[in-house]
Chain A
Amino acid sequence: MTEIEVFTRLNKVFRKVFDDNSIVLSRNTTAKDIEDWDSIEHITLIGAVEKEFGMRFQMKEVSSMKNVGEMADIIRSRV
């Protein structure tokens, strides 16, 4: 899967989970850039991303991802 494809689908998931159609993700996007992205919403987000791509993150990945770019890299290495 290309990085663009992954980002397109991630963007869709982010917009749904945060109910915010203005979200535009980049590799550098972090929780600081999205108003509602706190530790609680992070859980729903991870679950939704896993569903979208039909994969699961390893436990250590969930807490160690630094930005959306790293998330996309993990997804690309897995699907």
Chain B
Amino acid sequence: MRLDYPFSGAELLENKKAIRKELLNDGTKRTEKRIAVLGGSTTNDFCRMIEIFLLKEGIQPVFYQSEYAQYWNDGMFPPEELASFRPDVVYIHTSFRNLSPFLPSPALSKEECGQKLSEAYEHFSVLWKKLSEDYHCPIIQNNFEFPGVRLMGNRDGWDSRGALNFVRKLNARFADYAENTPSFYLNDINYVSACYGLDRWLDDSVWYLYKYACALDAIPHWSFNIARIIKSLFGKNKKVLALDLDNTLWGGVIGDDGVDGIELGSETATGECYLAFQNYLKSQKQIGIMLTVDSKNDLNNALDGLNHPDSVLKPDEFIVIKANWETKDRNLVETASQMDLGIDSFVFVDDNPTERALVGASLPKVAVPEMDSPYTYARVLDRNGFFETTTFSEDDVKRNAMYKANADRAVLQQSFADYTEYLLSLDMKADILPFPELYIPRITQLTNKSNQFNLTTKRYTEGEIRAAAADPAHITLYGKMWDRFGDNGVVAVTIGEIRSPDELHIELWLMSCRVLKKQMEYAMLDVLTEECVRRGIKTIYGYYYPTAKNGMVKELYKDFGFEKVSESDGGSTVWKMDCASYEKKNHVIRVNCPEEGEKK
């Protein structure tokens, strides 16, 4: 169940007991913080939800809750229980419902309505000053959601006698106070209720029944916004964005499509979308957020993409660029250690759900938001409040850094042992079979598109592919792979020619980068070797022809256990392997399982 945006308010409310229990038992060491909640309406479920969101951020809250609607009296004339509570933060939970004594009306003059506004402002500001003197701690105050009805229709918004106009002006006065007062923060429920939808936010029945100031399902949204401020105050903000490149910062795969083939810039709708996201990321730097790259790419290709003429994020915008073929969790851990930051400072931004699952499982302290379509990337990051900008003390910063460095070392050790386990957990299955007619177009396309994991970069026409499939002197294999997250489609293609009865020469060996480090290449080799043995072929020859883009597979045949036969001046290599001594290499993908057959 998601505890980050986009979460389901109803789900969180219904399961709050189980969620709380699970968080409390997850072994996290948490800092206790004392929160005084001064309510203008019912606060119970708000406290429960704030607790859940803060537990997730490593904070164990302890609450004081005022008696029903006693926010002002409790603050001004504190009962013994509050006086001795020693809050670390005071939160004033008021809403439009609490403005009824102050509201203007068409029966009053403009001046009288102005007077009402001042009265309302004074009512609150005197409370803030008193709280600040008594507790010397941060104060969080809600601003006001818009009213559910407009007595004068549109006039309500611009006439001083209108309640809507009143709320707008009062919110502006609150904002002025916040801007000019240290340790005072506004919880912007006016914005949050707009995001949620005002009509859904306001639910009169729960007000009359339980005196809740918003719909039940909106309570987690309201609470999440408070928790954002509180965790930020106590130094739990994220600090670094670790960004994937292909289909995250631009559309397409730079290694395959080339710098001219990726979508970035105002030429296409998709390109514009990625450009806007890059601009959003660049603006994050203004509030001190650091950018890093964590991408499966050759470094040169990555740099080519970042130097694209329409790229706003040029290479020097990043603190660390990891573009290589390591697993992404290992890259993240290295980046963290290089930057001397804890792994919990990182937000991992990647369009690929499999990569997100790997990082999420291997590094649970890293925030891994759900980045599903490029036009929602910025919103998902934004609504999660990773970088909620309050202020926090120098001490908190230091304490965090020390704690984080320790956590970091521990995480690094873990990531090694877990990778095979992770692969097994994916429940990968593959069909590896001779080319069928159905896939001829896709196979042809792959031979013309794949540049990186491609040993010979030999291009084929559909006719040539069809001919190879039909020729008894060729062995053709395609690989189609799927896992519990979904179907990757046809991702691997191999063509070998039988040049003498006991020799197979691999003319084409390619794989899509979307299944890198999944042992798919091993699965392909297993099947190929098996087929060779079946046909009485004794030796397999492999060829590597270097190009600008296929550096990653230079040593592939060595890794396969082939021995090098020759090497040319240009770096082309020839390899061979004896089929008889071959041992199966893939232990994580189930291949050609008859009971399941082909997926869908």
Task: State which of A3-11, A14-22, A26-34 sits at the interface with chain B.
Answer: A14-22
Q: Are A43 and B208 in contact (CB under 8 A)?
A: no
Interface bits B308-340 vs A (CB < 8 Å: 1, else 0): 000000000000000000000000000000000
B195 CB to nearest A CB, Å? 21
Assembly CA distance A40 to B17 (angstroms): 13
Per-position binary interface string of chain B over residues 210-241, scored 1 when its CB falls under 8 Å from any chain A CB and 0 otherwise? 10100011000000000000000000000000
Contact A19 B17 (CB under 8 A): yes
B18 in contact with A47 (CB, 8 Å): no
Alpha-carbon separation in the docked complex, A71 to B268 (Å):
57
B10 touches A62 (CB 8 A): no
User: Roughly how many angstroms separate A13 CA and B10 CA in the complex, as a whole number?
Assistant: 13
**Binary B-proximity of A29-60 (CB < 8 A = 1, otherwise 0):** 00000001000100110011001000010010
Contact: B209 with A48, CB < 8 Å? no
Question: Would A44 and B205 count as touching, CB distance under 8 A?
Answer: no
Q: Which of chain B's residues have a CB closer than 8 A to the CB of A18? A: 17
The complex places the Cα of A11 from the Cα of B533 at a distance, in Å, of 60
Residue of A nearest to B13 (CB): A44
Closest chain-B Cβ to A64's Cβ sits at a distance in Å of 12
With A and B bound together, what is the CA distance between A59 and B21 in angstroms? 32
Residues A63 and B209 in contact in the complex (CB < 8 Å), given A40-B44, A44-B216, A47-B217: yes
B355: chain A residues at CB < 8 Å are: none
Q: Give bound CA distance, A44 to B17, whole Å.
A: 11
Q: Chain A residues near B208 (CB, 8 Å)?
A: 59
Q: Does A47 contact B216, Cβ atoms closer than 8 Å? A: yes
- Please report the C-alpha to C-alpha distance between residue A13 and residue B13 in the assembled complex, in whole angstroms: 12
Task: Kindly report which residue of chain B lies nearest to residue A13, judged by CB atoms.
Answer: B14
Query: Which of A13, A44, A56, A63 contacts B16 (CB under 8 A)?
Result: A44
Closest to A20 in B: B17
Q: Please tell me if B100 contacts chain A, counting CB pairs below 8 Å.
A: no
How distant is the Cα of A36 from the Cα of B21 in the complex, in angstroms?
14
Q: B residues within 8 A CB of A13? A: 14
Mask: chain B, 10-46; 1 = CB below 8 Å from A; 0 = not: 1001111110010000000000000000000000110
Q: Are A47 and B13 in contact (CB under 8 A)?
A: yes
Partner of A44 from the list B14, B18, B21, B209 (CB cut-off 8 Å) is B14
Give chain B residues whose Cβ lies under 8 Å from the Cβ of A43.
45, 206, 209-210, 212, 216
Q: Which residues of chain B have C-beta atoms less than 8 A from A16's C-beta?
A: 14-15, 18
Return A72 CB to nearest CB of chain B, in Å.
19
Contact of B17 with A48 in the complex, beta carbons under 8 Å: no
CA distance A48 to B14 in the complex (A): 6
The A interface, classified by DSSP as helix, strand, loop or mixed, is helix
Q: How far is the CB of B68 from chain A (nearest CB, A)?
A: 12
Which residue of A has the minimal Cβ distance to B22?
Answer: A19
Residues of B within 8 A of A17 (CB): 14, 17
A4 to B14: give the CA distance in the assembly, Å: 23
A-side contacts of B16, CB under 8 Å:
44
Which residues of B have CB within 8 Å of A51?
Answer: 10, 14
Residue of A nearest to B18 (CB): A19
Complex: A51 Cα to B580 Cα, angstroms:
64
Which residue of chain A has the shortest Cβ distance to B15 in the bound complex? A16
Contact A48 B13, beta carbon cutoff 8 Å: yes
A-side contacts of B21, CB under 8 Å: 19
Q: Report chain B residues within 8 Å CB of A47.
A: 10, 13-14, 216-217
**In the bound complex, CA of A72 to CA of B35 (Å):** 40
Distance in angstroms between the alpha carbons of A78 and B217 in the assembled complex: 22
Q: Which residues of A contact B18 (CB under 8 A)?
A: 16, 19
Cα–Cα distance between A63 and B15 once the two chains are bound (Å): 23
Question: How far apart sit A56 and B15, CA to CA, in the bound complex (Å)?
Answer: 20
Contact status A62-B14, CB under 8 Å: no
Contacts of B15 in A (CB 8 A): 16, 19
A residues within 8 A CB of B212?
43
Question: Measured between C-beta atoms, what is the minimum distance from B10 to chain A in Å?
Answer: 6
B90 to nearest A CB, angstroms? 22
Q: 8 Å CB contacts to A: which residues of B170-216?
A: 205-206, 208-210, 212, 216
The distance in angstroms between the C-alpha atoms of A56 and B18, with both chains bound, is: 25
Chain B residue at minimal CB-CB distance from A60: B209
CA distance in complex: A40, B21 (Å): 18
Question: Within the assembled complex, what's the spacing in Å between the Cα atoms of A17 and B398?
Answer: 41
Q: Please, which residues of chain A bring their CB within 8 A of the CB of B206?
A: 43
Q: How far is the CA of A40 from the CA of B13 in the complex (A)?
A: 12
In the assembled complex, the CB of B564 is this many whole angstroms from the nearest CB of chain A, namely 62
Docked complex Cα distance between A40 and B18 (Å): 16
A54 CB to nearest B CB, Å? 12
A19 to B20, alpha carbons, bound, how many Å?
A: 10
From A19, A36, A44, A62, contact of B45 by CB (8 A): A44
Q: Are B10 and A59 in contact, with the CB atoms below 8 A?
A: no
A43 to B45, CA, bound (A): 9
A36 nearest CB neighbor, chain B only: B17
- Could you tell me the distance between the alpha carbons of A17 and B12 in the complex, rounded to whole angstroms? 10
State A48–B209 Cα separation when bound (angstroms): 16
B344 to chain A, nearest CB (A): 28
**Closest B residue by C-beta to A58:** B205
Question: Which residues of the partner chain B approach A62 to less than 8 Å between Cβ atoms?
Answer: 209
A48 and B479 alpha carbons, distance in the complex (Å): 47
Q: Bound complex: CA of A19 vs CA of B13, how far in Å?
A: 12
A41 to chain B, nearest CB (A): 9
Closest to A16 in B: B14
Would you mind naming 30 contact pairs between A and B with Cβ atoms under 8 Å apart? A13-B14, A16-B14, A16-B15, A16-B18, A17-B17, A18-B17, A19-B15, A19-B17, A19-B21, A36-B17, A43-B45, A43-B206, A43-B210, A43-B212, A43-B216, A44-B13, A44-B14, A44-B16, A44-B216, A47-B10, A47-B216, A48-B13, A48-B14, A51-B10, A56-B205, A59-B205, A59-B208, A59-B209, A62-B209, A63-B209
Given A40-B45, A47-B216, 15 further pairs, Cβ under 8 A: A13-B14, A16-B15, A17-B14, A19-B17, A19-B21, A40-B44, A43-B209, A43-B212, A44-B13, A44-B45, A44-B216, A47-B13, A59-B208, A59-B209, A63-B209
Q: Which residues of B contact A (CB under 8 A)?
A: 10, 13-18, 21, 44-45, 205-206, 208-210, 212, 216-217
